[in-house]
Amino acid sequence: MIINRRVQTLDEFTIQQLRDFPKATGELSSLLRDIGLAAKRVNVEVNKAGLVDILGDAGSMNVQGEEVKKLDIFANNQFVGVLRHGISCAGIGSEELDDVVIFDDEVSNASKYVCLFDPLDGSSNIDVNVSIGTIFSVYRRVSELGKPATEADFLQPGVKQVAAGYIIYGSSTMMVYATRRGVNGFTLDQSIGEFTLSHPDIKCPDSGKFYSVNHGNFFQYEENVRKYINECQKKTKENGGPYTQRYIGSMVADIHRNLIKGGIFMYPAVLDKPKGKLRVMYECNPCAFIIEVAGGIATNGKQRMLEVQPTGLHQRTPFFAGSKLMMEELESFLKGTE
């Protein structure tokens, strides 16, 4: 049997990172391992989605008035449960829950991190076997250690993230996470049930061919956005094109493709959602952090996404993210200086 010694599991990788930082306590590594464990459990259910009676609506609405599918709830419960029983998280916020959950026990109160989740992103794609995902972000608490976490620990601007990542349940299952030191991708080796380092040190290409936007909303976008989309369609070989439009409707999958291949993702404001559809805390900030660490740019159309001071847990925003040069061109259109 040939053993590929270059293969590193998620656990080995996070432990290796610890070795480079002798002062680190290992809390973040343990948190990432917990997230990996919850993700594996969700992965098992996602894979069974076509088989078992877990499909369909759970018959309730989430706190934002959207229909909740059963797998959303399952995923939410897995992440909350694993982190509650872990030793590295003082509380969580979730797209599926009205309020933050503060774990408030001796061990959790001593933990220095809190986590935010979109437990299942792209849930309208579940019943049609299209990639879906989980998005997470980790903040260092601002409240006093030893006491229960507070809402202020969660309502921090994205620039304060310590780590952020996503799991994509796709043709293979991957976990991609970023710390300030870099972005790394791990593919789930189903035969041993371990996330294995497959995409070390991911960099987002400075330019790409993909633009991802919901064209069905075209006439609802503001004029400068429409002009930029028109420009994407006009690109030729001479000026970096032609571009290809790709829009999965699972943000995780769209961001993942553009992160690896180069591209731009846009969810602008629309008439009936003037503040945008995507959530600052659960979707945009973590994706913005990953894209930026990988060398790309992310904005709300007016300012750097990560510098937006959140005022509410479930706040929404327009969102634009991707390859540096493509984002710079978009920004010139948004400012009207193109």
Q: Which of 270, 266, 260 shows the shortest CA–CA distance to 298?
A: 266
Which one of 27, 34, 121, 194 is in contact with Mn ion (CB under 5 A)?
121
Which one of 112, 277, 316, 324 is in contact with ligand AHG (CB under 6 A)?
277
Burial (CB count within 10 angstroms: exposed 0-12, middle 13-18, buried 19+), residue 272: exposed
Q: Which residue stretch of 18-26, 171-179, 180-188, 249-257 sits at the interface with ligand AHG (rule: CB under 6 A)?
A: 249-257
| By CB under 6 A, residue 322 contacts ligand AHG | no
| By CB under 6 A, residue 256 contacts ligand AHG | no
> Shortest approach of ligand AHG to residue 111 CB, angstroms?
26
- 27: partner contacted, choices ligand AHG, Mn ion, none (Cβ within 5-8 A by kind): none
Q: What is the DSSP string of 35-86?
A: HHHHHHHHHHHHHTTTTSTT-SEEEEE-TTS-EEEHHHHHHHHHHHHHHHHS
| Opening angle at CA 285, ends 279 and 286, nearest 5 | 110
Q: Which of 225, 212, 45 shows the shortest CA–CA distance to 119?
A: 45
3-state secondary structure of 26: coil
> Shortest approach of ligand AHG to residue 179 CB, angstroms?
24
Near ligand AHG in 76-115, by CB under 6 A: 95
Task: Provide the phi-psi class of 82: left if phi over 0, else alpha when psi is between -120 and 50, else beta.
Answer: alpha
Residue 306 CA to residue 329 CA, distance in Å, equals 20
| By CB under 6 A, residue 40 contacts ligand AHG | no
Q: How many CA atoms lie within 13 A of 21 on its CB side?
A: 13
Near Mn ion in 1-20, by CB under 5 A: none
The 10 Å CB-count burial string (b at 16+, else e) for 54-78 is: beeeeeeebeeeeebbbbbbbbbbb
Q: Which residue stretch of 89-97, 185-193, 203-211, 286-294 sits at the interface with Mn ion (rule: CB under 5 A)?
A: 89-97
Q: Which amino acid is at 197?
A: L
- x/- map, 214-243, ligand AHG, by CB under 6 A: x-----------------------------
CA distances from 67 to 70, 71, 214, 275, 278 (A): 10, 12, 20, 20, 15
| By CB under 6 A, residue 122 contacts ligand AHG | yes
> Shortest approach of Mn ion to residue 120 CB, angstroms?
5
DSSP label at residue 180:
T
- 214: partner contacted, choices Mn ion, ligand AHG, none (Cβ within 5-8 A by kind): ligand AHG
Q: Which residue stretch of 86-94, 114-122, 197-205, 319-327 sits at the interface with Mn ion (rule: CB under 5 A)?
A: 114-122
Which one of 27, 34, 121, 153 is in contact with ligand AHG (CB under 6 A)?
121
Q: Which of 248, 241, 220, 237 shows the shortest CA–CA distance to 326?
A: 241
Give the residue with the Cβ less far from ligand AHG, 11 or 66: 66
> Shortest approach of ligand AHG to residue 12 CB, angstroms?
31
Q: Residue 126 CA to chain centroid, in angstroms? A: 17
> Shortest approach of Mn ion to residue 175 CB, angstroms?
17
3-state secondary structure of 204: coil
- 277: partner contacted, choices Mn ion, ligand AHG, none (Cβ within 5-8 A by kind): ligand AHG
Q: Which residue stretch of 43-51, 119-127, 154-162, 196-204 sits at the interface with Mn ion (rule: CB under 5 A)?
A: 119-127
| Omega within 30 of 0 (cis) for the link into 242 | yes
Near ligand AHG in 150-189, by CB under 6 A: none
| By CB under 6 A, residue 134 contacts ligand AHG | no
Which spans of this chain sit near ligand AHG (rule: CB under 6 A)? 66, 95, 118, 121-123, 214, 249-251, 277
Which spans of this chain sit near Mn ion (rule: CB under 5 A)? 95, 118, 120-121
